[in-house]
Structure 1
Amino acid sequence: MRIAIAGAGAVGRAIAGELLVSGHSVMLIERKATAIDPDAIPGARWVHADACELGRLEEAELQNVDVMIAATGDDKANLVASLLAKIEFAVQRVVARVNDPRNEWLFDESWGVDVAVSTPQMLASLVEEAVTVGDLVRLMTLRQGNANLVEVTLPDDTPLAGKPVRRIPLPRDAALVTILRGGRVIVPEPDDPLEGSDELLFVTTDSVEDALRQALGLGSPEEYGSPAR
């Protein structure tokens, strides 16, 4: 996959390194000449350009990438780069970094953002996920389609233990995508049985989260105001 990253600071370089290890083609776009350092990420294509300038993005051939990641430390720059990538270059997937949580409401499809990543929100979700058993924890909002990636760790005494996946009456706009069990990542098949302590990952919408709780035999959100017991 061809991926462009706007911003070659610590965050942008870290993302680039991970993507290169996974076999993707990476282009780093950086406006500060002093930050251009091909030796730091030798497998990436480095472009000295302002990701908010249409002409420079045309020179970088942004129309040829599959994913744009706006990862600068400036929310205004990330929004403009996202909008240009989506509207002017029809980039299929645009991911944007949110630096200030107060600006998160701006990072949606109207600015060309498919997925907004807010570090504070993500850290809070990860902490909640680590200590919560028996309720849904929202890990990420997928802006396209207003869907969420949510996680639930089944209690040891879950009534679903031993039941196959096909027996879970999932609401229409909820899909089970992964079961994490004892270090394994399981792509669920209809006849796979569930077990206590399974960690389930769903893609769902806001409107059906309560119905999903009911389908999983969980209590209401108000019952989980404290960490897992």
Structure 2
Amino acid sequence: MLFREIYRRLGRGLLLLLAVLVAGMVGYHWIGLSAGHDWNWWDCRYMTVITVASVGYTEVFPVRDIPGAEGFTVAIILLGAGAMVYASSVLVALFVEEDLRHALRRERMRKAIHKMKDHIIVCGTGSTGITVVRELRATKRPFVVVERDAERLARLEAEFGKDQVLYVQGDATEDDVLVKAGVERAMGLVAALPTDKDNLFVTVSARQLNPNLRIVARAVEAGTAPKLLKAGAHRVVSPNAIGGMRMVSELIRPTVVEFLDKMLRDRERNLRIEEVPVPPDSPLVGQPLRQAPIRRITQLLVIAAWEPEPDRYTYNPGPDYVLTAGVVLIVLGEVDDVIKLRAFFETGERSSVVHVPPRT
């Protein structure tokens, strides 16, 4: 049963109960006038209420001594009881329906998370975590949120919409919660809990559950960073250090900062600096960039290339730069074009490049 239908029925029940109360007041007043009694409206209302509620208080009017009054009282009792039973049943159904709806949503979410693979787990949705979530949404990456605070989850749904963000409500430092989030199948994890101690616990647990997981942890205290790295984090990010770099960049390179800000906040064009790896089995391995029709199928600009061996960056690679297995191209452009290029690199066929609908 839909909520709208329940609210509609509840409204009908309350209107029916109100109609019984009004009919009782008018009826008793009319009966009193017919018998030559001047029963005021307050007494008529009181008599109707105690009759409908069946509380058993002393009768205000001598209904047994007045013709028709006793039968009218019986009718009011039956109609009032029926209206109250109807309204009460709908009210109970409202609570049951809400609980059932939450249960169904949790089950759908559990099944969706169970099917996920190579996703990112975001532990904590404070000021740092919510920024991570927004960026993952903007770049269309699959992710699962782990959050203990119900109020933060409510704010998450208010910002992105219900059923738009998959989450697990629980303590991210507990192994079973991480397992529910699919840590064994995930490709990355962001530890953005409020305290360094909790982030350290998450890092240790996640590394034990998935040795291949890429972990990025948040650290407030500078002394915590070495411990997080030793516990298994690939990178440690300090909000204080990032904030300091941002402040000095605003002074010495304000145009660059403004460019990056506009790129990240542009609502018309979803521009990002992204990385596109060349798979080892890609048909484009061994070919120069000029034969990879990047500019023909996308509007991406290749600004650098990283070679894992010997861990070297080539900035602004030219048309003769040869693509090798495992090389990662760093590109600037729209997210949809990045997705198209990844698909093209995997098959080498333009027919594999599918249209990616815009994010709503």
TM-score tier after normalising by the smaller chain length: 0.5 to 0.7
8 Å Cα contact 1:25-1:44 kept in structure 2: no
Shift of 1:92: 2.3
Shift of 1:22: 0.5
CA deviations 1:169-216 (Å, max 9, x no partner) are xxx9662254xxxxxxx4x24979xxxxxxxx9xxxxxxxxxxxxxxx
Corresponding residue number in structure 1 for 2:239: 119
Shift of 1:126: 4.5
Question: Counterparts in 2 of 1:73-152, with a 5 A limit?
Answer: 73-108=194-229, 110-126=230-246, 131=252
Shift of 1:120: 1.9
Amino acid at match of 2:194: G
Amino acid at match of 1:118: S
1:50 aligned residue (156, 167, 171)? 171
User: Which structure would you say has the larger RCO, counting Cα contacts within 8 Å and 6 or more residues apart?
Assistant: 1
Q: Tell me the TM-score normalised to structure 2 length.
A: 0.36
1:12 match: secondary structure: helix
8 Å Cα contact 1:96-1:113 kept in structure 2: yes
Amino acid at match of 1:114: H
8 Å Cα contact 2:183-2:209 kept in structure 1: no
8 Å Cα contact 1:86-1:112 kept in structure 2: yes
Corresponding residue number in structure 2 for 1:11: 128
Amino acid at match of 1:119: P
8 Å Cα contact 2:168-2:177 kept in structure 1: no
Shift of 1:95: 0.4
1:61 aligned residue (182, 185, 192)? 182
- Structure with the largest fraction of helix: 2
Amino acid at match of 2:312: A
Amino acid at match of 2:236: A
Report the CA distance shift for 1:26/1:41 in structure 2 as closer, same or farther (over 3 A). Answer: farther
Q: Which consecutive unaligned segments of at least 5 residues does structure 2 have? A: 1-117, 254-308, 322-329, 331-360
Shift of 1:88: 1.5
Report the CA distance shift for 1:125/1:175 in structure 2 as closer, same or farther (over 3 A). Answer: farther
8 Å Cα contact 2:122-2:133 kept in structure 1: yes
Shift of 1:128: 5.6
Shift of 1:117: 0.5
Shift of 1:90: 2.9
Q: Which has the larger radius of gyration?
A: 2
Percentage of identical aligned residues: 22
Corresponding residue number in structure 1 for 2:143: 26
User: How many pairs align?
Assistant: 145
Corresponding residue number in structure 2 for 1:40: 159
Report the CA distance shift for 1:116/1:22 in structure 2 as closer, same or farther (over 3 A). Answer: same
CA deviations 1:118-151 (Å, max 9, x no partner) are 122223345566749xxxxxxxxxxxxxxxxxxx
Backbone CA RMSD of aligned residues: 2.7
8 Å Cα contact 2:121-2:181 kept in structure 1: no
Shift of 1:59: 2.3
Amino acid at match of 2:200: L
Report the CA distance shift for 1:16/1:177 in structure 2 as closer, same or farther (over 3 A). Answer: farther
Amino acid at match of 2:160: I
8 Å Cα contact 1:101-1:120 kept in structure 2: no
8 Å Cα contact 1:16-1:44 kept in structure 2: no
